[in-house]
Amino acid sequence: MEQTLKQPTNQQVSVMAENLIGSEIIKLATEVKAKIAQGEKIYNLTIGDFDSAIFPIPEELKNEIIQAYHDGETTYPTANGVEALRKEVARFLQRKQKLVYDANAILISGGARPLIYALYQTIIDANDKVLFPVPSWNNNHYCHLAAAQQIIVETKPENDFMPTAEELKPFISEANLIALCSPLNPTGTTFTKEKLSEICELILEENKKRGVSEKPLYLLFDQIYWVLTHGETKHFDPVSLFPEMRDYTIYVDGISKSFAATGVRVGWAFGPQKVIDKMRAILSHVGAWSPKAEQEATAKFLKNDKAVDAYITTFKNRINKRLVGFYEGMKNLKANGYNVDAIPPQAAIYLTVKFDLIGKTTAEGNLLATTADVTAYLLNEAKLAIVPFYAFGTTTNSPWYRLSVGTAHTNQISELFVQLEKALAKLS
């Protein structure tokens, strides 16, 4: 006899889980995938990832990963990462950034996300305050997971959407953690030496006031894109500018973006030894290790300086070519009288673009009343999928967007702008 399973009437979950909001980027990506599945040609520039057919990982790294599996490197790695990799990361940082950290002060994990999660859990007690700028990536979600209070500073286009010391200063005394990223996701912009120095000076001054009796004001410095600087742009970091920042700065980094290896899942953090040790303890319970084979392979790849440097040079040139192509296309549209703009490429795989179209009317007589309306129009009429800055925490009426080139073919840039100009020309 067939039985019908009765659904439980009470499925309460934790307050944290109940109120965790979904990703706006994933929501948009789902809509884009549905259109592509229906046969539409969409210029999908939403995801902060790479098309591996366009941007494969280094051949040497791929071969080392394959060999590591052949060698049976399939057991648990050590909790803080295999020693060979931690040593090579330390050497890589010293060679490329002149940062000197002991291998024991480096923590390996399955990409950057577990490290950021562990850092929040290590530093933040319930109701502690985290100060961060918007637009920025996921700090609001990590605050929610850590039961932290958010102090949000909305940045300005005239500062390339990078926070300034002046903007952060009113909240410094309340904060327990400042979360910064440079090069910044979603903008692809960076701190100048002067602007980052001013923020570091604020942090040092605040910690001098707190003395040894209070929890320090720590800095999460996400530099996952730091290798990918373009043109005259230079990457600056807190400890290189102020050695005293070593006691308060925890870096998050890895191979995900610098070697197009987002799916390989090798990230690292480094900073004050006690903080790193506590992060390691947390992740040992979570089990968010990078696979041992990938760790062993990455160690051998980083040892190959010639292959590392050659890949970075070629990779950066190919990304920059795409960023410049999109930037020039946006400037041409602006010169032709359309309400668009863009910030010149600086770093990462992102271009910050502006579509100031709220208040425009479509050919069908529909008013573009919100940024969501503009985003939908660009997708439906121009077949252009990009991410509005409100997905990164800004006000919902911001006209600015993230354009990602990690899946872009160079031969499609000109045809995209033909399509885009046709769509813009229909608005009144």
- The tens digit of pLDDT for each residue in 137-152 reads 999 999 999 999 999 9
Kindly state the tokens that stand for 267: 């990230």
Q: Residue 21: pLDDT band by 50, 70, 90 thresholds?
A: confident
Range 177-182 average pLDDT: 98
- Is 167 in the same domain as 287? yes
- Is 76 in the same domain as 182? yes
| pLDDT given at position 24 | 78
Answer yes or no: is 300 within a domain.
yes
- Is 123 in the same domain as 217? yes
Range 112-117 average pLDDT: 98
- Is 253 in the same domain as 392? no
Residues 6+ away with beta carbon under 8 Å from 280 = 79, 80, 107
Q: What is the mean pLDDT of the chain?
A: 96
| pLDDT given at position 2 | 55
C-alpha–C-alpha distance, residues 200 and 193, integer Å: 11
In this predicted structure, which of 16-30, 33-47, 247-261 has the lowest mean pLDDT?
16-30
Tell me how far the alpha carbon of residue 111 is from its chain's centroid: 12
- Is 322 in the same domain as 248? no
Q: Residue 5: pLDDT band by 50, 70, 90 thresholds?
A: low
| pLDDT given at position 381 | 96
- The tens digit of pLDDT for each residue in 183-217 reads 999 999 999 999 999 999 999 999 999 988 899 99
Residues 6+ away with beta carbon under 8 Å from 150 = 129, 130, 132, 139, 140, 143
Burial group, residue 159, by CB count within 10 angstroms (0-12, 13-18, 19+): middle
Higher pLDDT, 212 or 415: 415
Question: Which domain CATH number covers 44?
Answer: 3.90.1150.10
Q: Say what percent of the chain tops pLDDT 90.
A: 92
For residue 394, pLDDT over 90 is answered with yes
Phi, psi of 45, rounded to the nearest 5 degrees: -115, 35
- Is 276 in the same domain as 401? no
For residue 222, pLDDT over 60 is answered with yes
C-alpha–C-alpha distance, residues 344 and 352, integer Å: 8
- Is 48 in the same domain as 131? no
Phi, psi of 424, rounded to the nearest 5 degrees: -65, -35
Answer yes or no: is 86 within a domain.
yes
User: Could you tell me the CA-to-CA distances from 146 to 117, 134, 150 in Å, in that order?
Assistant: 8, 19, 11
Give the domain-ending residue among 270, 304, 338: 304
| pLDDT given at position 211 | 86
- Is 32 in the same domain as 103? no
Answer yes or no: is 144 within a domain.
yes
Q: Residue 4: pLDDT band by 50, 70, 90 thresholds?
A: low
Q: Residue 30: pLDDT band by 50, 70, 90 thresholds?
A: confident
Domain that holds residue 26: 15-55+310-425
Question: Which domain CATH number covers 245?
Answer: 3.40.640.10
3-state secondary structure of 339: coil
- Is 148 in the same domain as 287? yes
For residue 31, pLDDT over 90 is answered with no
- Is 21 in the same domain as 73? no
Q: Could you give the strand order of the β-sheet that contains 400-404, starting from the edge strand earlier in sequence?
A: 340-342, 350-355, 400-404, 387-388
| pLDDT given at position 6 | 66
Number of domains the chain contains: 2
- Is 85 in the same domain as 216? yes
| pLDDT given at position 108 | 98
pTM of the model: 0.95
Range 242-260 average pLDDT: 98
Q: Residue 29: pLDDT band by 50, 70, 90 thresholds?
A: confident
| pLDDT given at position 375 | 96
For residue 257, pLDDT over 80 is answered with yes
Answer yes or no: is 5 within a domain.
no
For residue 1, pLDDT over 60 is answered with no
| pLDDT given at position 318 | 98
- Is 46 in the same domain as 141? no
For residue 406, pLDDT over 70 is answered with yes
For residue 123, pLDDT over 80 is answered with yes
Give the domain-ending residue among 251, 269, 304: 304
Contact 164, 194 (CB under 8 A): no
